[in-house]
Amino acid sequence: MPDTVAPLGVKWGAEELTEVPRAFHTAVREHVARRVAELGGDWKSLVFERQFDLLSLDDVLAIERTFLETGRKFQFSAEISLREEPEKYQRAEAAAADAEGLGEVADGQQVVALGDNVARHSANVSGTIRFVSSPEQVLDFLTDGVPEGTVAVIDDSGGTLTAPILDGFRAVICLGGTVRSHLGILTREYGIPCLMNAVLSELADGDEVEIEATAPVPTAEEYEAGRGVRAKVWKRV
């Protein structure tokens, strides 16, 4: 490899801030370094004339498959915001926010989730829980349509995965992020009830639930102080 190529673990001269991109980029660099040694020749000709010999689609898929088989899970996209500008977001130690009341049972209903309400609605909403965590699920919903009354539970606050089908959801429960995350902004624009930074208990695919969409929206000051009303999700027991 020429001296101008960044060393392993570094991209554009700066170290990655989180483990997942660092591990993936390192795997790509190591693969390219091995392929350069195997192919020989000068760097310019390899990059501009034989770039697909250096790194093909099959190579990328194999790297991704190996990476996922290690058991790692892509971290919440909001993590980078917490690291870069913690003063603008909820404190990291408050990410697993106060779960007081989770599991409580009253009037035949159990509190099975708590989250930060993105926007205050005029009425609570009910629907069927469906965990959405893979592109294959999204493609199935695109092909067959999102089932009526779907309350989507997703763990990525970026919103990219579910963007093509977002308008088909009755409501969204997200396990990461804040009310200022991309997903929170999208659901607010669509008028879809959404709880961010949620914690779950006794919640499974197919459960019928009611979401407290009428709960107050936490202020920036409440986020900073780790306070604020947590909206509830109930399941009949």
Which pLDDT score, from 0 to 100, does residue 150 have? 97
Rounded Cα–Cα distance for residues 234 and 237 (Å): 9
Please write the tens of the pLDDT for every residue from 102-144.
Answer: 888 888 899 999 999 999 999 999 999 999 988 888 989 999 9
- Tokens at residue 162, please? 């579910």
Task: Name the one residue in this structure whose structure tokens are 């493609």.
Answer: 139
Which pLDDT score, from 0 to 100, does residue 100 have? 75
Residue-wise DSSP of 50-80: SHHHHS-HHHHHHHHHHHHHTT--PPPTHHH
Closest CA to 197 of 210, 211, 178, 216: 178
The torsion angles phi and psi of 112, rounded to 5 degrees, stand at -110, -5
Which pLDDT score, from 0 to 100, does residue 88 have? 44
Average pLDDT of the chain is 80
Query: DSSP assignment, residue 227?
Result: -
The domains of the chain, with CATH numbers, are 10-72 (no CATH), 86-236 (3.50.30.10)
| Pairing state between β 105-106 and 109-117 | antiparallel
- CA 132 to chain CA mean position, Å: 11
Please write the tens of the pLDDT for every residue from 205-223.
Answer: 999 999 999 999 988 777 7
- CA 208 to chain CA mean position, Å: 23
Which pLDDT score, from 0 to 100, does residue 228 have? 75
- CA 207 to chain CA mean position, Å: 22
Task: Name the one residue in this structure whose structure tokens are 């001296």.
Answer: 3
Side-chain-facing half-sphere of 220: CA atoms under 13 Å: 5
- Is the entire prediction scored with pTM above 0.75? no
Q: Residue 40 burial by CB count (10 A; 0-12/13-18/19+): exposed, middle or buried?
A: exposed
Quick check: 78 pLDDT over 50?
Answer: no
Quick check: 9 pLDDT over 50?
Answer: no
Highest mean pLDDT among 49-53, 90-94, 215-219: 215-219
Closest CA to 183 of 198, 199, 172: 172
